Structure 1
Amino acid sequence: MVAREADVIVVGAGLSGLAAARAVLDAGHEPLVVEADDRVGGRILTEDVDGVPLELGAQWIGDTHHRMEALAGELGVGIYDQFEDGETTYEFAGEVLRGEAFHAKYADELAGLERVLRELDRMAETVPVEAPWTAPRADEWDRITVGQWLDGQGLGPVARTLQEICTVGILAMPTVEVSLLCLLQNIAVCGVTAELLAESEGGAQTKRFVGGTSLIPQRLAETLGDRIVLNSPVLTIDHSADRVVVGCRGGFSAVGRQVIVALAPTLAGRIMYDPPLPGVRDQLTQRMPQASAHKSFVLYDEPFWRDEGLNAQLISEIGPARMSNDSCLPDASAGPGIILCFLEGESARVAGRWPAEQRAAALRDELGRHFGPRAAAPVRIVEGEWASRQWTRGCYNANTGPCGLIHFGSALSAPIGPIKWAATETANAWAGYMEGAVEAGRRAAAECLADL
């Protein structure tokens, strides 16, 4: 059996685990990162297609993602603005309308939607980000789903569907599966609904990385050198007050004084712990499934939609993609034109399992309805599906259903002796995003350092 020793063992070489390891190293202690996959990055994955970096995983940061901006600057990774100029197209009630016409036709319904968003903001202000289960109305809000609450807000049919599409765009789960308190926590850790939902100034998807998002974890890994061990799925964690032994498939083991489990909660729950974890922690991981997301990059010779006053953003009640955007490189004039289509939640579960050609045909038809005949004849389509990836099993993050937070939420990030928890789901700022992954990793590292 091969064994290595370090002060802190980090399970998972995603962004959160790498950020944790780097913080431990910067503090003068030795980390060792153990990763199941054959690469670093976790839910960040850039695929090179004929020299074009396509973000099959995490892609954007927002204007308030200061940790990620600083990290990119430190690692020498450039940042550029997401293209937003032009109108969005909407497909509702059997017709496709450009933004101005859509807003004029459904002005009354959209006013109702704005009222609901402001109410969500007001409610989220009462939710403590570190302990949402202590909110004054936590018991009431965690016993109903987001869908139930939205159904009671008096929205018109178009506004209700639009709200569903946009909310699923954040959660990647149908609103009937997520508790209202869980959504309010998502809003609380990210600011307000405008920051979550908007792609323009102030939103969560306003900037991208030159050369691909994977440059961030790859260059972060380079600063750790040989302190990363790949192809080593963790099977067991034996722990006592001041010692941990992490056992991996293939006989490799890592011995340390502290361990950070930087995995999505449901994956962390598949490790065998000795002694076993408290029941509340295991019950929590049983109630935080990975969400469902499928990305389809549709490539053209050029971004023709820009000359037609469109931003390549669609919102459709028909699908299979419910949303899309312009995903071109910084110099779009050199080509190619790229439209990214999102299949999230139920769309990912249903259309994501169709034969590839059936899905491609449906996407071509949909894009043609929104952006014209040229959009229906792409050069190629490149897809990224996450539920089947062995060491991820879904994206973007995990959310709880009714009673998940009030009964089990306190176990999400609470240390258990030498075991500390990271991953973006445990973040107190921008949970579910790369910004949250960095925040959570650094928090877990600080907890370890305090105990060393």
Structure 2
Amino acid sequence: MSQPRSVDADVVIVGAGLSGMIAARTVLAAGLVPVVLEADDRVGGRILTEDVMPGVSVELGAQWIGDTHARMFRLADELGVETFPQYDEGETSYDLGGSGVLRENEFHTRFADELAELERVLRRLDELAADVPVEAPWLAPRADEWDVISAGTWYDNQGLSPVARTLLEICTVGILAVPTVEVSFLHLLFTIQTCGVTAELFAESEGGAQTTRFVGGTSEIPRRLAALITDHIVLDSPVQTIEHSTDGVVVHCRGGLVARGRRVIVAISPTLAGRILYDPPLSGIRDQLTQRLPNGSAMKAFFVYDEPFWRADGFNGQLISDVGPARMSNDTCIPGDDHGVILLFLEGDQARTFGRLPVDERRAALTAELVRHYGAKAATPEFYVDGEWSDRQWTRGCYNANHGPHVWTTYGEALAAPIGVIHWASTDTATHWSAYMEGAVEAGERAALAVVDSLP
């Protein structure tokens, strides 16, 4: 199918990720005409399900929703996508602070005092986060104090034992995908506040952020959304320049496509939005903001076995370790299929370091880690696949944009505020479950409704 050379619409939307397609659907429902310009050859953005074997698919991108993700549950229901609970039966395997590999019950018994320290710090984080207004974190009563230090510095000042401090780092990097020294303490508190409390962020059981998966894979969500607006999506169209005036926008794509509209919604991460040319140029504060919001570094590695052998040994497939490339793992088996699938997470420095190795070296190191936790059967998978998001041209990192020290208080007001006819939407701009699919839906709806309200 040949690509059109020009498109006219009421609203031009940059990016066919979850935010962009939600925005397009909302605009269309209001009786206006959208066009979605996607740089990649697929929809979904940071959602990517890949079939690796007959009956076995893996989630290289976003995978879970949590119990309080009402928008995502509603969206799945509207699209006819069924859900199933994350497997969580059995013990987690630990290897922290030189402890050696310990089963969960033994670890909790041996390190009961350290875990009590950790719980004390988590409750303190909840108390402080309650003072952060999610619509304007820079207005928090102690914003200047909290934004000048990193989350890692605050952690270091809490008097934690090495095991408790390491566990706190692993849990936090698992959410932000960057070391805690790179994130302002105010941003950590904002993240906690947008998601409820620390228990909802860190837990994988009831009440957590990773309790539910989608039948058929997470990509069923963007695929079915795209089917509803298929006539309004143009793929393989990287946006290069946005000309804007009070009368509307003219959007130029690589390859020669030109889209004209009365409004534009830029629904990609702030750092990618900053790589587009704007004519006239945007304000210095907006450009400086996008220079300071790097995407996280994240890699997922999947091992597929003939069966989930770890379950018979009483394990839930989760490991937490500071030894080896991966810091955490999950049982990601598919109901109805006999294969065993374990997902290993490499985030922050782990993704940056091991993501650069040849795949055979990375696989060997990860295999050794699994063998240490689950025994010799882990050494012989039927299939292996991994993927690092920083290498993807149209994403350049996951899961989210992170604010370093001074960013919220200096540039935060420019994150989601429209600039004339230009509006911003990505999960990074959300005020509820920012950095999650739930946040992507909220951001897309918010931007689209603002545009609808601004048009006759």
TM-score, normalised by the number of residues in structure 2:
0.98
CA distance in structure 2 between the aligned counterparts of 1:336 and 1:95, rounded to whole angstroms: 29
CA distance in structure 1 between the aligned counterparts of 2:435 and 2:6, rounded to whole angstroms: 33
CA distance in structure 2 between the aligned counterparts of 1:105 and 1:246, rounded to whole angstroms: 61
**Matched residue SS, 1:173:** coil
Match of 2:326 in 1: 321
CA distance in structure 1 between the aligned counterparts of 2:433 and 2:178, rounded to whole angstroms: 18
Q: Does 1:63 align with 2:67?
A: yes
Q: Does 1:44 align with 2:44?
A: no
Match of 1:392 in 2: 395
Deviations 1:146-170 (A, max 9, x none): 1100000000000000100010000
Match of 1:279 in 2: 284
What amino acid maps onto 2:390 in structure 1? Answer: A
Mapping of 1:246-257 within 5 angstroms? 246-257=251-262
Unaligned runs of 5+ in 1: none
Match of 2:94 in 1: 90
Q: Does 1:155 align with 2:173?
A: no
CA distance in structure 1 between the aligned counterparts of 2:320 and 2:357, rounded to whole angstroms: 21
Match of 2:216 in 1: 211
Consecutive aligned runs of 4 or more in structure 1 exceeding 2 Å deviation: none
CA distance in structure 2 between the aligned counterparts of 1:309 and 1:355, rounded to whole angstroms: 33
Match of 1:447 in 2: 450
**Matched residue SS, 1:183:** helix
Deviations 1:414-439 (A, max 9, x none): 00011000000000100000000000
What is the CA RMSD across the aligned residues, in angstroms?
A: 0.8
User: How high is the sequence identity, in percent, across the aligned residues?
Assistant: 66
Match of 2:353 in 1: 350
Deviations 1:30-53 (A, max 9, x none): 110000000000000000112312
CA distance in structure 2 between the aligned counterparts of 1:67 and 1:202, rounded to whole angstroms: 16
Match of 1:288 in 2: 293
Q: Does 1:360 align with 2:363?
A: yes
Mapping of 1:63-82 within 5 angstroms? 63-82=67-86
What amino acid maps onto 1:347 in structure 2? Answer: Q
What amino acid maps onto 2:349 in structure 1? Answer: E
Match of 1:299 in 2: 304
Choose which of 104, 129, 138 in structure 2 pairs with 1:99: 104
Match of 2:269 in 1: 264
CA distance in structure 2 between the aligned counterparts of 1:152 and 1:247, rounded to whole angstroms: 50
Choose which of 170, 174, 177 in structure 2 pairs with 1:165: 170
Deviation at 1:225, TM superposition (A): 2.1
Deviation at 1:94, TM superposition (A): 4.4
**Matched residue SS, 1:387:** helix
TM-score, normalised by the number of residues in structure 1:
0.99
Deviates further, 92-101 or 153-162: 92-101
Unaligned runs of 5+ in 2: none
Match of 2:25 in 1: 22
Deviations 1:262-282 (A, max 9, x none): 000000000000111111111
Choose which of 232, 240, 243 in structure 2 pairs with 1:227: 232
Match of 1:416 in 2: 419
CA distance in structure 1 between the aligned counterparts of 2:246 and 2:334, rounded to whole angstroms: 50
Deviation at 1:355, TM superposition (A): 1.1
**Matched residue SS, 1:88:** strand
Deviation at 1:319, TM superposition (A): 2.1
Q: Does 1:12 align with 2:15?
A: yes
CA distance in structure 2 between the aligned counterparts of 1:406 and 1:35, rounded to whole angstroms: 32
CA distance in structure 1 between the aligned counterparts of 2:238 and 2:229, rounded to whole angstroms: 19
Deviations 1:34-78 (A, max 9, x none): 000000000000001123121000000000111111111111111
Q: Does 1:109 align with 2:114?
A: yes
Choose which of 179, 187, 196 in structure 2 pairs with 1:191: 196
**Matched residue SS, 1:236:** strand
What amino acid maps onto 2:224 in structure 1? Answer: R
**Matched residue SS, 1:95:** coil
